């Protein structure tokens, strides 16, 4: 199977367009037309992981963190990034990163954390904003079904856990073909009255090109009448962080002990105790201090993340327990999640899970 085919199947499950604008996701190095011999899944595509891929005859590394984040101006092996990339290129190994595309996925990084904690009724902590659009198009009634199918096939009409969502209103449209036109119906210089449906669908903005192309291909008119609007609605099925509830609340210290056990932690940095029960918990894998205010607004009793700075701990205002469990530690389930996803996608394909240590942080206890 060629690399481009493997990538397309991965992206059927993890929408790479969900990634944050600052991120560097997708194929970082490799030739799309090369045959894939095996896949190694890892957290960070460091030099030792590339060596592991060579040993296991895997010429595709699917990693969480992008090894190339900022632009490379040279490849001389002078730092850990260049050494890893050089070794991959020299051994014809492709590297594909998913990072914030999986952070923003409803069943991604943060769902893994919530499932480990046993939280229920999960919701997105910071829903994506300004990425939903609405399309309305006017279609001859007898072609309405064909255009709808084309829109659905292109990805329009998906709302959360529902797809093929649309709304249709029937009405009367008018138009007059003028010189130079080649009308589907009617004659030049004579006003035409047409029995038309107005079809309305919602879609995520990255799908715009494919949806408009599909609509125009299926539509019988020479000039298609349609409008696209940007919506203020938040996308509650894509975004950073999650929150959910325990079935039974627990004391703060018992909660910390529970987290320490579930995540196999040596240490947890936390804010002052508030002497309140922990029922609702917010999570954001990786560097998640930016989600503290959102967690407070969602009335979370505790918030789990990594890389919390000194002054961030003051933000609780005695309303919430902030827990810094470590960057890598908060994302530690990602490799297993990706391994399971790829194993389902490629049941007859060689998928390996990296056993190399890539967490750069160590603790002296």
- Contact between 282 and 300 under an 8 Å Cβ cutoff? The reply is yes
Following DSSP, what letter does each residue of 30-81 receive, concatenated?
S-TTSBP--EEEEEE--HHHHHHHHHTT--EEEEEE-S--SPPS--SS-SHH
**Measured distance CA(115)–CA(149) in Å, rounded:** 36
Query: Tell me: the pLDDT tens digits for 38-67?
Result: 999 999 999 999 999 999 999 999 999 999
CATH 2.60.260.20 applies to domain 105-126+241-324: no
pLDDT at 36 over 80: yes
Query: Tell me: the pLDDT tens digits for 195-252?
Result: 999 999 999 999 999 999 999 999 999 999 999 999 999 999 999 999 999 999 999 9
Burial of 51: CB neighbours in 10 Å, binned 0-12, 13-18, 19+: middle
pLDDT at 317 over 90: no
**Residue 191, token pair as written in the block:** 């006003």
Count CB neighbours of 101 within 10 A. Answer: 22
- Averaged over 151-156, what is the pLDDT? 97
* pLDDT reported for residue 212: 98
Q: What percent of the chain has pLDDT over 70?
A: 100
* pLDDT reported for residue 308: 98
Q: What percent of the chain has pLDDT over 90?
A: 92
**Residue 294, token pair as written in the block:** 């959102």
The CATH-assigned architecture of domain 132-231 is: 2-Layer Sandwich (3.30)
Query: SS3 of 197, please?
Result: strand
- Contact between 58 and 350 under an 8 Å Cβ cutoff? The reply is yes
Kindly give the residue spans of alpha helices, DSSP state H, lying in the chain: 3-13, 47-55, 80-90, 99-103, 109-117, 144-153, 208-218, 252-262, 292-297, 327-330, 334-345
Phi, psi angle pair for 26, to nearest 5°: 95, -160
pLDDT at 364 over 90: no
* pLDDT reported for residue 350: 86
- Averaged over 16-32, what is the pLDDT? 95
- Let me know if the fold of 3-99+333-353 is the same as that of 105-126+241-324: yes
* pLDDT reported for residue 71: 84
Structural fold of domain 3-99+333-353: 3.40.1390
pLDDT at 29 over 80: yes
Query: Tell me: the pLDDT tens digits for 156-207?
Result: 999 889 999 999 999 999 999 998 888 888 888 999 899 999 999 999 999 9
- Contact between 334 and 342 under an 8 Å Cβ cutoff? The reply is no
Burial of 239: CB neighbours in 10 Å, binned 0-12, 13-18, 19+: buried
Binding residues: 65, 103, 327, 331
pLDDT at 348 over 80: no
Binding residues for a divalent metal cation: 65, 103, 327, 331
Confidence at 341, pLDDT banded by 50, 70, 90 = very high
Where along the chain do its domains lie?
3-99+333-353, 105-126+241-324, 132-231
- Averaged over 282-306, what is the pLDDT? 97
* pLDDT reported for residue 39: 97
Q: What is the mean pLDDT of the chain?
A: 96
Confidence at 13, pLDDT banded by 50, 70, 90 = very high
* pLDDT reported for residue 185: 87
pTM of this prediction exceeds 0.85: yes
pLDDT at 31 over 90: yes
* pLDDT reported for residue 24: 96
Query: Tell me: the pLDDT tens digits for 100-144?
Result: 999 999 999 999 999 999 999 999 999 999 999 999 999 999 999
């Amino acid at each position: 199977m060629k690399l481009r085919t493997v990538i397309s199947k991965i992206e059927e499950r993890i929408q790479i367009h969900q990634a944050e604008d600052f991120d560097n996701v997708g194929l970082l190095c490799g030739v799309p037309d090369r045959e894939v011999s095996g896949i190694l899944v890892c957290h960070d595509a460091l030099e030792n992981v590339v060596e592991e891929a060579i040993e296991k005859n895997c010429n595709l590394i699917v990693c969480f963190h992008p090894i190339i984040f900022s632009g490379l101006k040279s490849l001389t092996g002078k730092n850990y990034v260049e050494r890893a990339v050089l070794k991959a290129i020299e051994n014809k190994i492709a590297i594909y990163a998913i990072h914030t595309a999986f952070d923003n996925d409803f069943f991604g990084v943060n769902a893994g954390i919530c499932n480990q904690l046993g939280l229920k009724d999960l919701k997105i902590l910071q829903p994506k904003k300004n990425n939903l659009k609405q399309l309305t198009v006017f279609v001859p009634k007898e072609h309405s079904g064909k255009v709808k199918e084309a829109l659905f096939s292109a990805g329009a009409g998906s709302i959360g856990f529902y797809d093929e969502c649309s709304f249709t209103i029937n009405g009367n449209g008018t138009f007059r073909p003028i010189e130079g036109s080649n009308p589907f119906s009617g004659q030049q210089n004579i006003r035409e009255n047409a029995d038309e449906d107005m079809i309305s669908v919602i879609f995520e903005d990255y799908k715009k090109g494919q949806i408009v192309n599909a609509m125009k291909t299926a539509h019988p008119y020479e000039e298609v009448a349609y409008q696209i609007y940007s919506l203020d609605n938040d996308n509650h099925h894509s975004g950073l962080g999650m929150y959910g509830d325990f079935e039974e609340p627990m004391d703060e210290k018992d909660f910390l002990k529970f987290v320490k056990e579930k995540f196999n932690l040596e240490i947890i940095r936390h804010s002052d105790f508030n002497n309140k029960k922990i029922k609702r918990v917010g999570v954001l894998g990786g560097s998640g201090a930016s989600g503290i205010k959102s967690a407070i607004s969602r009335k979370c009793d505790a918030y789990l993340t990594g890389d919390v700075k000194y002054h961030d701990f003051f933000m609780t205002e005695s309303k919430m327990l902030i827990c810094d469990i470590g960057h890598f530690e908060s994302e530690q389930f990602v490799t297993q999640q990706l391994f399971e996803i790829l194993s389902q996608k490629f049941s007859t394909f060689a998928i390996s899970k990296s056993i190399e240590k890539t967490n750069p942080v160590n603790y002296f206890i």
